[in-house]
Amino acid sequence: MSAEKSSQSRLRTELHLHLEGALTAARALALASAAKGVPSPPAGAVTGGGSEARWAYDDLGSFLRCFGWGTRLLVDEASYLLVFDDLVRSLRDDGVERAELFVAFGQMRRAGVDPRSILPGLARRAQEIDDEGGPTIHFIADATRQWGVREAERVLDAALDLQEQRIVGYSMGGDEWSLAAREFREIYRRARAAGLGLSCHAGEGTTAESVRSVVEELRVQRVGHGVAAVEDPQLLRELADEGIVLEVCPTSNRRTGVWSPDAGVHPVIPLIEAGVRVVVGSDDPAFFECSLSREAALLEEWGVDDEGFDRIERDACRARFANPLP
Ligand SMILES: [Zn+2]
């Protein structure tokens, strides 16, 4: 059995994946040519054309320009469904059985789009996919930290209105340096009281303190990335003791410059060794050209063995917000 094949058969639960990050360059060009009033892609953001088109960027700034331009093309149910169907095809090819997708409610609202006009269509499609044999897909409403508490609150209001539409969690991404986690404490308290699972991006390119703040102030069960926690042995012990799950995305870290192989082993390995629960995610697979099986292949290369993969998959099944295993 090849390394990739054996890895693919082990990880089947994807918990850190942005729906908008599944927008391929080919799909974006097709949407742009059909849309009115959308400017051309930023210079050099796309190479090739047609089905051969690829995103091109070489640092975090140019990546964010690609991502920002691409997501401006997602303005209605039809465009979201196209991206969703593209993603489902690649998840099936990859052997993924369950996924919880971040949907950028904050970004939608910024573009003048009400998530209530998008989610029912996605939920109907997710049900059809279930009926066709899967993967089983649920959604997490994602707010953007730097756009402030009031906006994050409106994202939660929309999420609560849409709980029947496969919304199982509330999360926040964006600029970790912008506003302190404690500002969002009341919003997370409301989300928890309503039965939503809680996640927050923290410790991606920042500090262990940023991870600590979302665990202590927001009481999240899962942290998006969280790799900066490796800097603080005391925090690692606390994360392990409390069973907090870090959603680690090695290829994403490489492509955005959060981690480089020149810096030594990826933090996922010391995190596992410290007994912290980790799951693995592809983050923005169309932009980073990765998949869950490719992330698994990396882990295998770095020495994660059968037992390690079993543990990651089991932790993912226990940490998922939709029907978690006990
Ligand atoms: Zn992410």
- Read off the pLDDT of residues 223-235 as tens digits, 9 standing for 90 and up: 999 999 999 999 9
Q: Please give the distance, rounded to the nearest whole angstrom, from the Cα atom of residue 37 to the centre of ligand 1.
A: 29
Contact 105, 142 (CB under 8 A): yes
Question: Burial, 36: exposed, middle or buried (Cβ in 10 Å; 0-12, 13-18, 19+)?
Answer: exposed
Other CB atoms within 10 Å distance of the CB of residue 306: 10
Q: Provide the pLDDT for residue 28.
A: 95
Integer-rounded Cα radius of gyration of the chain: 18
Contact 153, 189 (CB under 8 A): no
Query: What digits encode the pLDDT tens for the residues 67-109?
Result: 989 988 999 999 999 999 999 999 999 999 999 999 999 999 9
Q: How close are the terminal C-alpha atoms of the chain, in Å? A: 32
Contact 197, 16 (CB under 8 A): no
* Backbone phi, psi, residue 289, to 5°: 50, 55
Encoded amino acid at 314, one letter: R
Measured between alpha carbons, how far is 254 from 252 in angstroms, rounded to an integer? 5
Question: For the whole model, what pTM was predicted?
Answer: 0.95
Instruction: Sheet containing 197-202: give its strands across.
Output: 13-18, 98-103, 136-144, 167-173, 197-202, 222-225, 245-248, 277-280
Q: Residue 279: CB partners within 8 Å, gap ≥ 6?
A: 13, 15, 16, 222, 245, 246, 247, 248, 312, 315, 316, 319
Provide the 3-class DSSP secondary structure of residue 182: helix
Q: Provide the pLDDT for residue 64.
A: 85
Is the domain spanning 3-23+74-319 CATH 3.20.20.140? The answer is yes
- The verdict on whether 204 is a catalytic residue reads yes
Among residues 20, 77, 100, 204, the one annotated as catalytic is 204
Q: Provide the pLDDT for residue 9.
A: 60
Q: Please give the distance, rounded to the nearest whole angstrom, from the Cα atom of residue 296 to the centre of ligand 1.
A: 17
H-type alpha helices, 132-246: 149-161, 185-193, 208-218, 233-242
Q: Provide the pLDDT for residue 1.
A: 44
What is the maximum span of the chain, computed from C-alpha positions, in angstroms?
53
Within the chain, which residues score under 70 in pLDDT?
1-9
Instruction: Give residues whose Cβ lies within 5 Å of ion ligand 1.
Output: 283
Q: Provide the pLDDT for residue 79.
A: 96
Q: Please give the distance, rounded to the nearest whole angstrom, from the Cα atom of residue 192 to the centre of ligand 1.
A: 21
Sequence spans of domains, the chain: 3-23+74-319
Q: Residue 39: CB partners within 8 Å, gap ≥ 6?
A: 69
Strands 13-18 and 98-103, how do they pair? Answer: parallel
Tokens of 49: 């054309």
Q: Provide the pLDDT for residue 224.
A: 98
Q: Please give the distance, rounded to the nearest whole angstrom, from the Cα atom of residue 173 to the centre of ligand 1.
A: 7
Q: Please give the distance, rounded to the nearest whole angstrom, from the Cα atom of residue 276 to the centre of ligand 1.
A: 19
